[in-house]
Amino acid sequence: MSLYTATYTDLYQLSMAQVYFKKDRHSQQAVFDYYFRKNPFNGGYTIFAGLENVLDSLKEFRFTEEDLDYLKTQNFDASFLEYLKDFRFRGSIFSVLEGDVVFPNQPILRVEASLIEAQLIETFLLNMLNFQSLIATKACRMRYIAKDRTLLDFGLRRAHGPGGYYASRAAFIGGFNGTSNVLAGKNFGLPISGTMAHSFIQSYGDELQAFRDFAEHRPKNCVLLVDTYNTLKSGVPNAITVAKEMEVRGQRLLAIRLDSGDLAYFAKQSRKLLDEAGLDYVQIAASNQLDEYVIKSLQEQQAPIDIYGVGTNLVIGKPDAALGGVYKLAFYDGKPRIKISENIAKITMPHAKQVYRLKNDKGEWVGSDAIGLTSEGSFEVMEHPFEVYKSMRLTGLQREALLQPVMEKGERSFATKTLQEIADYREKRFAQLPTEYKRFNNPHHYKVGISEQLKEERDRLIKLHKSL
Ligand SMILES: Nc1ncnc2c1ncn2[C@@H]1O[C@H](COP(=O)(O)OP(=O)(O)OP(=O)(O)O)[C@@H](O)[C@H]1O
Ligand SMILES: O=P(O)(O)OC[C@H]1O[C@H](OP(=O)(O)OP(=O)(O)O)[C@H](O)[C@@H]1O
Ligand SMILES: O=C(O)c1cccnc1
């Protein structure tokens, strides 16, 4: 499913586009970079997600008759609206592949298109990439700490409106095993799974009968929620009774779910009761405001929890709630462009650029990426972007160019990836990131440097603008 209409944008994009058109500035070529300045969650990395949806939707990115009728009521010029009738994105996109591990202040995606086309896709592109990258990163943090336990997304009810749809997709990329979100399952090919709510048991009053009826009609992957009345005195014993009845029918209860109280204590006690009843195959699921820190604590307490169901904290990207990715002009009409700022970290990088992941002779990541101009050949020294005396020789290191052509002249230039392929790629790339960047507290800082030529160009433009 893609968002077909080009009015999924901010008004200022259209206001600027109209001026570009009227002043005949719209068709000159421009280069924009997508990047962010800080990893979410005070972490050491970010997982890049949302690219497939961007490429999919750009094919359909157009103004409908109704869009144009609406814009007419907003005082847009008739000749501009006429132009928008045939508006299509016919530019090129170079991007890091979806699922890769990325870092602050490096271009993750580069758009090369006419100024008006590059401008009009900005809001949609940021909306898609910022949100999914945030959620994929949150999910990856939980996957890292949960090791081989099952992680399920239960977040749709707590998500920021329809954002929950894409959150489920991003969670899978980040390492979740499945989702309770049926629409995301249907449209993205995600495994769906789920248990039961307290209301089901409450509606019976009789917990045992509720479990029996549920097991009768959903014997496959059946999970019984055991904390409605009294977890250890009624929930678990009733689940054991039903599990035994299922055995007689040649079926197996998959799991029980704990949703309140001290999850480590209840998991340990429940495990004991299940094992004593000969039900060591029945797994234990837990939910209730989980996040990577609670999961870490539960793992440290050796809570015998096999399945974690995570809602709110995953799908709203708590506590960050947004990734501040930006989209900045780097080149237009044959000239490099720069944005100056009092805050040196906010000065943009001019020109079309490539990013290289640096590896040792064994192909292992060394903890640095280097940004160079696409127009320059191989460079041997990487400079710190802001600090004068910090630089690193690149001699002997392998370089992997991260920005790949993914769209050329409005057409996709690489095959559609399934979500499973993207998730597998995330797993493979994340495995290559050394552990010091993965810890939650004070993760190691991954270095992103720039070539001497890029630095000279940036500093030349800063001086040029200061002298004006
Ligand atoms: N053993 C544990 N170690 C660490 N955190 C836990 C443990 N057990 C539960 N938690 C987490 O502590 C938080 C609060 O748990 P608490 O039992 O107070 O839940 P609650 O929402 O008040 O639920 P209820 O009143 O339904 O028991 C939740 O995020 C929960 O996941
Ligand atoms: O805590 P979260 O990480 O957001 O996970 C989702 C929560 O949503 C459900 O509770 P809810 O009270 O909405 O419904 P229920 O009656 O099914 O428990 C579920 O039982 C989880 O506790
Ligand atoms: O299937 C579940 O157990 C579930 C689904 C959504 C939210 N909470 C729980």
pLDDT tens-digit series, residues 28-81: 999 999 999 999 999 999 999 999 999 999 988 999 999 999 999 999 999 999
Strand order across the beta sheet in which 353-359 lies? 391-393, 381-383, 447-451, 365-373, 353-359, 398-401
| Contact assessment for residue 30 and residue 329, using Cβ atoms and an 8 Å cutoff | yes
Angle at 125 between CA 122 and CA 131, to 5 degrees: 130
Q: How far is the CA of 192 from the centre of ligand 2 (A)?
A: 17
Assess whether pLDDT exceeds 70 at residue 110: yes
Residue with tokens 């000279």: 456
**Maximum Cα interatomic distance, the chain, rounded to a whole number of Å:** 86
Q: How far is the CA of 174 from the centre of ligand 3 (A)?
A: 19
- Any atom of ligand 2 within 6 Å of the Cβ of 164: no
Residue 190 resides in a domain = no
Averaged pLDDT for residues 312-319? 98
Residue 229 resides in a domain = yes
Q: Total domain count for the chain?
A: 2
Residues 20 and 96 in one domain: yes
Q: Residue 272 is part of a domain; what is its CATH number? A: 3.20.20.70
Taking CA atoms only, the protein residue closest to ligand 3 atom 6 is 154
Residue 3: predicted pLDDT: 57
Averaged pLDDT for residues 380-406? 95
Q: Pick the last residue of a domain from 247, 271, 305.
A: 305
Q: Cis omega (within 30 of 0) on the bond before 405?
A: no
Q: Pick the last residue of a domain from 275, 305, 335.
A: 305
Could you tell me whether strands 178-179 and 150-153 are parallel, antiparallel, or unpaired per DSSP bridges?
parallel
Residues 298 and 328 in one domain: no
Residues 202 and 300 in one domain: yes
Q: Residue 378 is part of a domain; what is its CATH number? A: 3.20.140.10
Taking CA atoms only, the protein residue closest to ligand 2 atom 20 is 259
Averaged pLDDT for residues 284-290? 98
**Which of 153, 154, 180, 199 has most ligand 2 atoms within 8 Å of CB, for mutation?**
154
Beta bridge partners of 373: 353
Q: What is the DSSP string of 298-330?
A: HHHTT----EEEE-HHHHTTTTT-----EEEEE
- How much of the chain is in helix, strand and coil states, percent to nearest 5? 40, 20, 40
Residue 96 resides in a domain = yes
Residues 331 and 439 in one domain: yes
Residues 359 and 248 in one domain: no
pLDDT tens-digit series, residues 232-271: 999 999 999 999 999 999 999 999 999 999 999 999 999 9
Question: Which ligand is nearest the CA of 198, by number?
Answer: 2
| CA distances (Å), origin 65, targets 5, 76, 119, 248 | 10, 14, 21, 63
Residue 369 resides in a domain = yes
Q: How far is the CA of 133 from the centre of ligand 1 (A)?
A: 28
Residues 35 and 130 in one domain: yes
- Ligand 3 pocket (Cβ < 6 Å) reads 154, 157, 180, 194-195, 309, 311
- Any atom of ligand 2 within 6 Å of the Cβ of 202: no
According to DSSP, residue 195 is labeled -
User: Taking the model in full, what pTM does it have?
Assistant: 0.97
- DSSP H helix total and E strand total for the chain: 16, 21
Assess whether pLDDT exceeds 90 at residue 468: no
Residue 4: predicted pLDDT: 59
Q: What six digits make up the tokens of 204? A: 């019976």
Q: What six digits make up the tokens of 47? A: 């997982």
Give the atom of ligand 2 at the shortest distance from the alpha carbon of 199: 16
Residues 447 and 339 in one domain: yes
Assess whether pLDDT exceeds 50 at residue 113: yes
Spatial separation of the C-alpha atoms in residues 60 and 5, rounded to whole Å: 7
| CA distances (Å), origin 26, targets 78, 113, 330, 395 | 16, 10, 16, 42
Residues 335 and 301 in one domain: no
Q: Which of 299, 300, 287, 260 is nearest to 149 (CA)?
A: 299
Assess whether pLDDT exceeds 80 at residue 2: no
Residues 284 and 410 in one domain: no
Residues 324 and 460 in one domain: yes
Averaged pLDDT for residues 374-382? 94
Neighbouring residues of 265: CB distance < 8 A, sequence distance ≥ 6: none
| CA distances (Å), origin 29, targets 81, 318, 340 | 21, 39, 22
Spatial separation of the C-alpha atoms in residues 256 and 270, rounded to whole Å: 9
Beta bridge partners of 399: 358
Q: What six digits make up the tokens of 98? A: 């979806």
Q: Pick the last residue of a domain from 305, 335, 356.
A: 305
Assess whether pLDDT exceeds 50 at residue 405: yes
Beta bridge partners of 101: 47
Q: How far is the CA of 32 from the centre of ligand 1 (A)?
A: 46
As a whole number, the mean pLDDT across the chain is 96
Residues 124 and 214 in one domain: no
Cα 445 to the center of its chain, rounded Å: 20
Residue 414: predicted pLDDT: 87
> What three-state secondary structure class fits 354?
strand
Residue 311 resides in a domain = no
Averaged pLDDT for residues 336-357? 94
Cα 73 to the center of its chain, rounded Å: 37
Q: How far is the CA of 224 from the centre of ligand 2 (A)?
A: 14
Give the structural domain span for 397.
11-135+320-466
Residue 242 resides in a domain = yes
| Contact assessment for residue 313 and residue 290, using Cβ atoms and an 8 Å cutoff | yes
Q: How confident is the model at residue 344 (pLDDT cuts 50, 70, 90)?
A: confident
pLDDT tens-digit series, residues 219-232: 999 999 999 999 99
Q: What six digits make up the tokens of 149? A: 């336990």
Q: How many CB atoms lie within 10 A of CB 424?
A: 14
More confident of the two residues 386 and 136: 136
Helical pair 65-72 and 78-85, crossing angle rounded to 10 deg: 170
> What three-state secondary structure class fits 403?
coil
Half-sphere exposure of 377 (CA within 13 A, CB side): 0
Residue 1: predicted pLDDT: 45
Residue 80 resides in a domain = yes
Give the atom of ligand 1 at the shortest distance from the alpha carbon of 287: 31
Q: How far is the CA of 311 from the centre of ligand 1 (A)?
A: 14
Assess whether pLDDT exceeds 90 at residue 293: yes
Residues 255 and 337 in one domain: no
Taking CA atoms only, the protein residue closest to ligand 3 atom 1 is 194
Averaged pLDDT for residues 352-361? 98
Spatial separation of the C-alpha atoms in residues 361 and 421, rounded to whole Å: 27
Give the atom of ligand 2 at the shortest distance from the alpha carbon of 314: 3
Query: Which segments of 73-147 does DSSP mark as H helices, in order?
Result: 78-85, 115-120, 122-146
Residue 172 resides in a domain = no
Q: How far is the CA of 315 from the centre of ligand 2 (A)?
A: 13
Averaged pLDDT for residues 176-188? 97
